[in-house]
Amino acid sequence: MYSSMEQQQAEKVKCLIIGSGPAGYTAAIYAARANLKPVLYTGVEVGGQLMQTTEVENFPGYPDGILGPEMMTDLQKQAERMGTDIRFGYVTSVDFSGKLHKVVVDETTQIYAEAVIIATGASAKWLGLPSEQRLNGSGVSACAVCDGFFYRGMDVAVVGAGDTACEEALYLSNLCPKVHMLVRRDEMRASKIMQERVKAKSNILVHWNTETEEILGENTVTGVRVLNSRTNQTTEIPIQGFFVAIGHKPNTDIFKGWLDMDAEGYLLTKSGSSHTNVEGVFASGDAQDKIYRQAVTAAGSGCMAALDAERYLSHKEFMESHNWTAVSH
């Protein structure tokens, strides 16, 4: 429990939003329009996962598609225009034990908020191989759009079989002579349309039932050793770049011990709402959604969180103005 002295000296805000993806910015737009004077902390990856995407074709309202970074810049501008105080900073810990919620930014700045909207998103998962860690940044990457350029004219591999892996493979197929897709089962999880696009590319070679055993190379990637789980045969594929696209992990570690979450770390919300188990703390976007995980659903849940926060705050204000203490929903 934090001390009241600590609280008196720190900045107090009505509504604090953590995260700058579609959920965070949408929450900010709604909260600002509801006069909650939101303060939004962007996190390190300003704009979130969409900053690493090329064309977004499925966000309603863009008949010709839009580049992910462009969409995030637009959302940021819209949130700012409505009056959101957007700050660069990374929330390193929280304390939800008091009436006001304490949020610590960059391990030093303490802020107390009446309502907190969590929109911290998710981050790329890694295979967990020592060679992957050793060669990260020297041939190993989790973002083709960010790093693909460095592998122009070279052969590369992509591990994974979801939409992200297909997207990465397609992107790389325009830069690299050969793209090896390493798929651990005999089918892909990706949507049919993405699978069709991959199939149509003659320089993408799909390796089915294939597990990555080790990424090869001392200081740079020279190949990958794979195991075919059907034949039990091990082979080495010469490559210079290795791209990991095996899904994501919610960025919720700082909320452990405070908020209810499932075994994978996705925040649990009360059915049909953004309410967490702590009053005044709301969860939105990929940090709480492991099913849909789309930009448009994240934006929708950011809107829900802002509306829930607004109702919570006006109810609280009403109760306090009548000297009633109980807060219920």
- What lies within 8 Å, CB to CB, of 76 at 6+ separation is 20, 25, 47, 86
The yes or no reply on residue 164 touching ligand NDP (CB under 6 A) is yes
Single out the catalytic residue among 15, 64, 106, 147: 147
The yes or no reply on residue 207 touching ligand NDP (CB under 6 A) is no
The yes or no reply on residue 189 touching ligand NDP (CB under 6 A) is yes
Site for ligand NDP in 109-148 (CB under 6 A): 127
The yes or no reply on residue 265 touching ligand NDP (CB under 6 A) is no
CB of 96 to ligand NDP, least distance (A): 29
Closest residue to ligand NDP in the complex (CB): 162
Burial of 157 from C-beta contacts in 10 A (0-12 / 13-18 / 19+): buried
Single out the catalytic residue among 106, 146, 253, 262: 146
Q: How far apart are CA 298 and CA 247, in angstroms?
A: 16
Q: For residues 179 and 203, is the Cβ–Cβ distance under 8 A?
A: yes
Under DSSP, is residue 248 helix (H, G, I), strand (E, B) or coil? strand
Q: How far apart are CA 160 and CA 247, in angstroms?
A: 8
Tally helices (H) and strands (E) across the chain.
8, 19
Report the DSSP beta bridge partners of residue 159: 182, 244
Report the DSSP beta bridge partners of residue 267: 261
- What lies within 8 Å, CB to CB, of 85 at 6+ separation is 37, 38, 39, 40
Under DSSP, is residue 176 helix (H, G, I), strand (E, B) or coil? coil
The yes or no reply on residue 230 touching ligand NDP (CB under 6 A) is no
Of the ranges 80-88, 136-144, 169-177, 182-190, which one interacts with ligand NDP (CB under 6 A)?
A: 182-190
Amino acid identity at 272: G
CB of 99 to ligand NDP, least distance (A): 37
Q: Which CB sits closer to ligand NDP, 178 or 290?
A: 290
Of the ranges 70-78, 86-94, 160-168, 263-271, which one interacts with ligand NDP (CB under 6 A)?
A: 160-168
Q: Which CB sits closer to ligand NDP, 31 or 182?
A: 182
Choice from 102, 180, 207, 248 touching ligand NDP (CB under 6 A): 248
The yes or no reply on residue 238 touching ligand NDP (CB under 6 A) is no
Q: Which CB sits closer to ligand NDP, 58 or 97?
A: 58
The yes or no reply on residue 293 touching ligand NDP (CB under 6 A) is yes
Q: Could you give the residue ranges of the DSSP H alpha helices within 174-275? A: 192-199
Amino acid identity at 192: K
- 143 a catalytic residue: yes
Residues binding ligand NDP: what is the number (CB under 6 A)?
A: 17
Q: Which residues bind ligand NDP (CB under 6 A)?
A: 58, 127, 159-165, 167, 184-185, 189, 246-248, 293
Q: Which residues are catalytic?
A: 143, 146-147
